[in-house]
């Protein structure tokens, strides 16, 4: 059962978190292009940020499976009190909070400002802030992945 739980956990991480990191990373660039508006004969530039935001939202819901199966795997292995797992849980919670409380709302605000010519906010600083938040989100996930592989104190010899 442990192998099944671990397999689902890893697959969920790859298939849910991966698309979020890519879409969230690309969003500010395309949102700035849409705000600039020039050089888009087909009018497709404005649709790209909206699509990237939908990808982030949709995969965020699917991403809930990652910690659920991670906790189930940790419980099955009896490592829920290990420092590396507790650190991973904390970093995952911080990454989730950044995504839910800063990145997704920031994307919504940026989409609203690029679609409204009389928007009160300049999209450039908002896009720059989103890039920084996304970088922090991605860095947190990279640290979690390293912790999952290295597992300080592991007796596997790896």
State which residues form the domain around 49. 2-150
Centre a 10 Å sphere on the Cβ of residue 157 and count the other Cβ atoms it contains.
4
Domain-located, residue 28 = yes
More confident residue, 43 or 24: 24
Domain-located, residue 155 = no
pLDDT at 158: 46
Q: What mean pLDDT comes out for the span 115-129?
A: 74
Domains identified in the chain, total number: 1
- State pLDDT tens for residues 40-63: 656 666 789 999 999 999 999 999
The Cα 11–Cα 5 span in angstroms is: 10
Domain-located, residue 157 = no
pLDDT above 60 for 68: yes
The Cα 68–Cα 55 span in angstroms is: 21
CB 12 within 8 A of CB 65: yes
Domain-located, residue 158 = no
The Cα 40–Cα 42 span in angstroms is: 6
The predicted model scores a pTM of 0.86
More confident residue, 123 or 37: 123
């Amino acid at each position: 059962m442990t192998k099944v739980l671990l397999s689902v956990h890893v697959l969920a991480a790859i298939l849910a978190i991966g698309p979020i990191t890519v879409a969230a990373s690309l969003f500010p660039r395309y949102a700035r292009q849409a705000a600039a508006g020039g050089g888009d004969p087909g009018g497709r530039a404005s649709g790209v940020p909206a699509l990237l935001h939908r990808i982030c939202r949709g995969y965020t819901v699917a991403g809930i499976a990652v910690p659920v199966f991670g906790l189930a795997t940790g419980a099955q292995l009896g490592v829920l009190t290990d420092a590396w797992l507790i650190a991973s849980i904390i970093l995952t919670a911080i990454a989730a909070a950044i995504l839910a409380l800063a990145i997704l709302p920031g994307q919504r605000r940026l989409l609203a400002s690029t679609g409204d010519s009389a928007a009160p906010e300049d999209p450039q600083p908002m896009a720059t802030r989103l890039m920084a938040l996304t970088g922090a989100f991605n860095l947190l996930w990279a640290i979690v992945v390293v912790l999952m592989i290295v597992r300080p104190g592991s007796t596997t010899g790896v």
